[in-house]
Structure 1
Amino acid sequence: MASLQDDHDEVVERFEPTSGRVSGWMTVVLTAVLAVAGVAYADEGFPLWVAAAGVLVGVLAWAVMLRPALWVTTEHLVMQNLGETLHIRLAAIEEMAVRQVLVVRAADRRFVSTVVGRTWRKALTSRHRPGGLAGDAALAPTEGMHYADFVENRLYDLVDTARRRAEIRPGSPEQLALPGAVRREPAWVPLGLISAALLLLVLSLVL
């Protein structure tokens, strides 16, 4: 993803997904086998629409469960989602919390990443750190802590550092007025693959 950053906005840290990868890969493999079987046994009456549906499910599984990614650059929190990649300026982040998904508020808007999350039970019992606090030693990342807790605290540290560097207070008019708070990049590859798979399914039902 080097093309997404210039020399002054290099990747600082990447975060691993907390769920969905195993089931995602299993779905992709199973649907690939189904699609291959559909082509191999088409002359023996194997329904083409079943193979086409398998392709669509496989593409959706990849786009929804495997493609999403989360990383931080010098200046931005980057959320790679199904249909777009979001570049959120760290100093512009107003609030943030890891619940069942990561929720970030910036430029008076709400953004979500499914890469990092807690179970429903863990989300109910976790401690929430207000967006404006910095240097909370009790919540600093420690060895053996839950990975979602580590990610949340690491993101707070990076956001706090960016705010101090920009001399911005959370919730201040200066923060809301920061230029380039959020940049969106459409994800043409997954959107194109999903559209093509849908078209293939429709054609298989018509023919």
Structure 2
Amino acid sequence: MAPLQDDHDAVVERFQPTSGRVTGWLTVVLTGVLVVAGVAYVDEGFPLWVVAASLLLGVLAWAAMLRPALWATHEHLVMRNLGETVHIRLAAVEEMAVRQVLAVRAADKRFVSTVVGRTWRKALTSRHRPGGLADSAALAPTEGMHYADFVENRLYDLVDKARSRDGIRAGSEEQLALPDAVRREPAWLPLGLIGACLVLLAVSLFL
């Protein structure tokens, strides 16, 4: 019998992107059309460097706008970005805020996710909460709440629960000394594709 999945790795909340998807898909489609057209008409003088540049732009749009994701497990906040996937232990989160992007401080380092964010104007007027959820009822999601507000509230709730479960106080020495506070995994697929496109572009410029 196959072992059951560790409950600590089970996804408890998957957050939806607040922007960038439409632009990302449009860019991928348009660059895809250029690549197909270039391959079809390469014998008629269509520049190879345009094909390579379009392919590179399409890969960058996918990696930067469509690939990023944000979710939480029982133990970690997971940020999948262009070049890496970062696993941040919830109890190790020192500070967190959703502005134009989500910024999280843990293990004395700052990590950013572009998946969730506010508009520039909304970011200026939003209320920053440097501590935990002292009044969770006041911060509970309500009908009509902006999605970025819901994400911030939900993340604070998950962080507070993780701290309570581990007996950790925010800003304490125990929090700073937590083992495996952050784990980073390189995103080899997008990095490899971007590298290959750069090589293809360089070669096409000399042909």
Scaled to the shorter chain, the TM-score interval is over 0.9
The offset of 1:130, in angstroms, is 2.1
Q: Give the secondary structure class of the aligned counterpart of 1:8.
A: helix
Mapped to 2, the partners of 1:175 and 1:184 lie a distance apart of: 19
The offset of 1:184, in angstroms, is 0.3
Task: Describe the superposition over 1:60-116 as per-residue Cα deviations: whole angstroms up to 9, x where unpaired.
Answer: 000000010000001000000000000000000011000000000001111000000
The offset of 1:194, in angstroms, is 0.1
Q: Which amino acid aligns with 1:108?
A: D
Mapped to 1, the partners of 2:163 and 2:7 lie a distance apart of: 21
Q: Which position in structure 1 is the counterpart of 2:40?
A: 40
Q: Which position in structure 2 is the counterpart of 1:159?
A: 159
The offset of 1:6, in angstroms, is 4.1
The offset of 1:191, in angstroms, is 0.1
Residue pairs, 1:86-105, within 5 angstroms: 86-105=86-105
In the alignment, structure 1 residue 57 sits paired with structure 2 residue 57:
yes
Q: Give the secondary structure class of the aligned counterpart of 1:137.
A: coil
Task: Describe the superposition over 1:107-142 as per-residue Cα deviations: whole angstroms up to 9, x where unpaired.
Answer: 111100000000000000011122233333222211
Mapped to 1, the partners of 2:58 and 2:87 lie a distance apart of: 27
Task: Describe the superposition over 1:169-196 as per-residue Cα deviations: whole angstroms up to 9, x where unpaired.
Answer: 0000000000000000000000000000
Q: Aligned residue pairs: how many? A: 203
Mapped to 1, the partners of 2:36 and 2:50 lie a distance apart of: 11
Checking the alignment, whether the CA contact within 8 Å between 1:134 and 1:156 is kept in structure 2 is no
Q: Which position in structure 2 is the counterpart of 1:139?
A: 139
Alignment RMSD: 1.1
Task: Describe the superposition over 1:38-73 as per-residue Cα deviations: whole angstroms up to 9, x where unpaired.
Answer: 000001111110111000000000000001000000
Unaligned ranges ≥5, structure 1: none
Q: Which position in structure 2 is the counterpart of 1:176?
A: 176
Mapped to 2, the partners of 1:115 and 1:25 lie a distance apart of: 15
Checking the alignment, whether the CA contact within 8 Å between 1:52 and 1:197 is kept in structure 2 is yes
Checking the alignment, whether the CA contact within 8 Å between 2:133 and 2:157 is kept in structure 1 is no
Mapped to 1, the partners of 2:8 and 2:76 lie a distance apart of: 11
TM-score normalised per structure 2: 0.95
Identity of aligned residues (%): 83
Q: Which amino acid aligns with 1:201?
A: L
In the alignment, structure 1 residue 30 sits paired with structure 2 residue 30:
yes
Mapped to 1, the partners of 2:57 and 2:131 lie a distance apart of: 38
Unaligned ranges ≥5, structure 2: none
Q: Which position in structure 1 is the counterpart of 2:202?
A: 202
Q: Which position in structure 1 is the counterpart of 2:70?
A: 70
The offset of 1:7, in angstroms, is 4.4
Mapped to 1, the partners of 2:126 and 2:61 lie a distance apart of: 29
Q: Which position in structure 2 is the counterpart of 1:110?
A: 110
